[in-house]
Amino acid sequence: MRWESYPQDSYLSDINIFGLIYPFITKYCIFTIRNHHPIMLSITKEFRFEAAHRISNHGGDCKNLHGHSYILYVTVSAEEPDEQDMLIDFKLLKSIVKEQVLNHFDHVLILKRNKPNEALQALTDQKICWFEHEPTVERMLLFIRDALIHALPTTVQLYKLKLYETASSFGEWENKP
C-alpha cells in the first residue's frame, strides 16, 4: 500500500500548490504583457515637402546649397479607438502636421544659425528656417518630434517618425517606453 499512496499524495499536493499560485501567475502575465506591449494600434500618414539646406560643417558636397524632396511618415498610436472608432481623424492629423511642421519646412531654406549662413542670408531674400544645429535628417526628426508631441490630442501618442531625405536615405525616431 505504501507504494500506491505515496505517489498519489504527492500528485495531489502539486495540484493544490499550483491551484494556489495560478491566479498570481495569470495576473503577473497579463500585467507583464500590458506593460511591455502597451501600444496596440497605430495609424500612419505620409507627407511631402520640398526644402533646401546646407550642412555647413560637412567636408564634402553637402556644404553646398542643395534641395531635397522630403517624405515624412507620422505614426500615432493608442490602445483603443475613440468613440468614433478611430485613433485620430486623418484630416485632423494632416492639419496638425501642416501647421506644426510643413509651414516651417515646405519651400524654405533650412540653415544652422552661424556666421557664414547669416552672411548668406544677407545676399538673399529667401525664407529661412533657422536651426540651432545643422539641418541633418536626424536634427529635423527631433525638431518634428518636439513640434508634434504636444500638439496631438491627449488620446493618442506620437509613436514613430520616418523622414526620407532621398529615395535611399532616411532617418527614424521611435517612442520607446
Residue 87 contacts residue 42 (beta carbons within 8 Å): yes
Has 133 been annotated as catalytic? no
- Residue that has been written with the C-alpha cell 544659425 in this structure: 113
The alpha carbon dihedral of 102, 105, 157, 170 has a sign of positive
Counting beta carbons within 10 angstroms of the beta carbon of residue 56, is it exposed (0 to 12), middle (13 to 18) or buried (19 or more)?
Answer: middle
Of 104, 129, 138, 165, the catalytic one is 165
Contact residues for 68 (Cβ-Cβ < 8 A; gap 6+):
50, 51, 52, 53, 165, 166
150 in active site: no
φ, ψ for residue 122, nearest 5 deg: -65, -25
Exactly one of 37, 58, 107, 133 is catalytic; name it.
Answer: 107
Query: Which run of H or E residues covers position 172?
Result: strand 169-174
Reply yes or no on whether 62 is catalytic. yes
Kindly state the helix (H) or strand (E) to which residue 163 belongs, with its residue range: strand 157-166
Catalytic residue among 62, 104, 129, 138: 62
Q: Which residue type is seen at 172? A: E
Residues annotated catalytic, as ranges: 62, 107, 165
